[in-house]
Chains A and B, each alone.
Chain A
Amino acid sequence: MTEAASSPQDSPPTVADLFAPPGNAWQPVSTRLRDMHRLVIIGVTVVSTAAVVLLAVMVVDYWWLAVGSAVAGIAAGTWGWWWSARSQQAWGYAERAEDLYIKHGIMLRRLVVVPYGRMQYVDVIAGPVHQRFKIATVTLHTGSPATKARIAGLEPAEAARLRDRLTDLGESHAAGL
């Protein structure tokens, strides 16, 4: 969330090509990921802004500090609102015959291709906040810790389906190391 200093520029055509889906289209992740990010960002912003404003008014009595932090808080909240949507849209995955493709990231864009045969195990993780929003994160592990294959914001049913399918495919394609 701190990479917010400048807004990411619109994609030049080469980038669209670079991160184009391998087949028809990227499978999107749940918009509840966006809602969760929005709630968390707005919550944190409101609480911290309110604390600073109260401090400025009641303790040190600097009205300009109160106004300044309120403006900053509103700006941060607005940006968080927008970022959450962009971030959720940036996630995408595609299950192909032999490999799983995942892309994500706005500023730093990443695309990873993991052959099913290379998978060692699959994790499904949902923290308390994720559970409230009914989303889960599926992580694929290969023999290389650099793989970083993670899909955030999956519906629980989709996460379970993906986990089972990946495990099945991993067994039938197993190549290990």
Chain B
Amino acid sequence: MPRDSDDTPARLPPRRLHPASPFLRAWVLFVAAVAAGGRSMLDSNESWSVLAIVAGGALVAGLVLGLASWYFTRYVIDGRELRIDSGVLVKRSRRVPYERLQSVDIVQPFAARMFGMAELKIEMAGAGENKTRLAFLPLAESERLRHVLLERAHLDQPASDEGGNPTGSTALEAAEAPETLLFRLSPWTLTAAVLLSTEFLVNAVLLLAALIVGFVFHLLLEMIPVIVPIALGVVQVTSKRYIMQWGFELTHTSRGLRITRGLLSRTTQTIPLDRVQGIAVAEPLLWRPLRWSRLEVDVAGHAKSGDDRKNADESTLLPVSDRSTADRIIAAVLTHADLAEPRLAGAPRSARWLRPIGWRYLATGSTDQLVATRRGWLVRRTFLVPHAKAQSVRIRQGPLQRHLGLASVHIDIPPGPVTAVALHRSAAEARALAWTEVEQARRGRLSEAAADARTRRRRRSAMPLGPR
């Protein structure tokens, strides 16, 4: 890979991905072929050699296709866009205009990581397109490319001087703010957090109960169909946390917060602070005595409806931390929010008819800058939404609520882990809450627009995000 060219010329010659890419993509097939081939050598069983031939054929075909696709894939960085040309038979050219660039993540799948390769995932603002991927590039190369892309995306007028040098890219790079490490997850904390998590405990208690029943009534063999799935559940819950959150690091950069995480595959993602719509503070039952919490963020454009499961990991801002770290990071994310702890008021007693246990945990409050709602018994969740981010405000009242004189107020923000709902408030309070929220949201929007005009930040609103 030509790494000798200087950092950000206006136009770079078309480049190819790393030649190892097709091999890294086909490694599963490769392993299967080798394994089946090995078995067929050991025991001359017909089916194994058939399998070996099939796997070998698939491997060769995959490699040929992969090589062809690698040969025809090139990417070009020029003054105003990143262009990716690909396709063997059907030519495709995808353009990523810098001003529509939303996020650039670096992902290192396990196999690629072993060889120091990485994949670049590029997300654009727009009608729910898939992420654009560049796989694979050497890690240093992909970091450099991400840097270049983000630099250009944040330039005030990306295409002001056409064809010429993008405005002072070298100056910008020099002015890059130093990166500060905000948080690093230690393996011990992760272990403690997993052991005390509600999912783990539920599974563990079930497993223990099954084992005890098995021993006491001498039914261990009969209990196996029950015990094995539960044990697998325990393993899955634990290993998932370890694989996803091992070595979790949160860094403050000039572009926002950068998260790096993963045990086998490492993922690096950047959360642009001005696109954060809200924060969820989750406190599972057994974390509460330790005052530990987990933070999740709602980032505009990140959550696509349909793959919520996958996004649960992407939206984690802090897997587990003590109160002071969490507060510090909330303050870093909601930059302009004055973090006077909002005073939360509980729901009226009549809500107990609708939520016999949970009504005690329902609470709502607001400050000048944000609105906070809380709910949850096993996992207590507090949702913080800056007034300026509210998309709309709704009041809902079902027949039972009407009978009890209650109503719920929803503060709508783009989809994500944050669902700010003031459940079961008294009708008068709900009305007052909704009306003040509408007013505060207006003031928040105005002051945010003014702040943006001051810093001459390019507004994304010029290109609305489209339906989600």
Contact = CB atoms under 8 A, between A and B. Distances in A.
A17 B275 CA distance: 36
Interface string A1-43: 0000000110110110111101000000000000000000000
B225 interface: no
Q: Interface range on chain B: under 10, 10 to 19, 20 to 34, or 35 or more? A: 35 or more
B394 A113 contact: yes
A120 B464 contact: yes
Given A15-B427, A175-B445, A109 B415 contact: no
Contacts of B186: none
Nearest to B388: A175
Interface in B40-70: none
B392 A112 contact: yes
A41 B464 CA distance: 40
B467 A121 contact: yes
Interface stretch (B4-12, B13-21, B428-436): B428-436
A38 B464 CA distance: 40
B275 A99 contact: no
B343 interface: no
Nearest to B464: A120
Nearest to A111: B395
B430 A18 contact: yes
B391 A142 contact: yes
Nearest to A120: B464
Given A115-B392, A143-B414, A120 B465 contact: yes
B412 interface: yes
Contact of A143 (B300, B397, B402, B445): B300
B168 interface: no
Contacts of A19: 395, 397
Interface range on chain A: under 10, 10 to 19, 20 to 34, or 35 or more? Answer: 35 or more
Interface in A88-110: 98-99, 107-110
Given A20-B431, A98-B442, A177-B301, 19 more contacts: A9-B399, A12-B405, A17-B428, A107-B398, A108-B396, A110-B395, A111-B396, A113-B394, A113-B434, A121-B464, A145-B467, A145-B468, A146-B412, A147-B392, A147-B394, A149-B392, A176-B462, A177-B389, A177-B461
Contacts of B431: 17-18, 20
Contacts of A109: 395-397, 402
Given A114-B392, A146-B412, A14 B461 contact: no
A99 B438 contact: yes
Given A115-B442, A120-B466, A144 B402 contact: no
Interface of B: 275, 277, 300-301, 305, 389, 391-399, 402-403, 405, 407, 410, 412-415, 426-428, 430-431, 434-435, 438, 441-442, 445, 448-449, 459-462, 464-468
A124 to B, nearest CB: 15
A163 interface: no
A18 B395 contact: yes
A9 to B, nearest CB: 7
A148 interface: yes
Given A109-B402, A115-B441, A145 B466 contact: no
Contact of B402 (A12, A111, A145): A12
B192 to A, nearest CB: 36
A18 B408 CA distance: 11
